[in-house]
Amino acid sequence: CKYDIMIELKYLKVKEYRRNRKLLGIKREEAINQLKSYEDDERIDKNTLRKYVVIFVGHDLKLLEEII
């Protein structure tokens, strides 16, 4: 493999998501911020790193995004 992968996984309960659909965006931002803090580790080669945010609502995948 010529690159490293970092995945931040988030989960929302279906009832929470139905009450406030903005939570998806909030969880997305949280995940992006966490990935950025993780990549500050000196052991990680930023040139070969690929970062992904994955968010599930219940059993359904709602968001899969590569963060550049």
- On whether the CB atoms of residues 41 and 14 are closer than 8 A, the answer is no
Q: Exposure of 53 by Cβ count < 10 A (0-12 exposed, 13-18 middle, 19+ buried)?
A: buried
Segment 40-56, tens digit of pLDDT = 888 888 888 999 999 99
The structure's pTM equals: 0.88
Q: Is 31 helix (H, G, I), strand (E, B) or coil?
A: helix
Segment 8-38, tens digit of pLDDT = 999 999 999 999 999 999 999 999 999 999 8
Structure confidence at residue 1 (pLDDT): 67
**Three-state helix/strand/coil letters over 2-17:** CCEEEEEEEEECHHHH
Structure confidence at residue 58 (pLDDT): 97
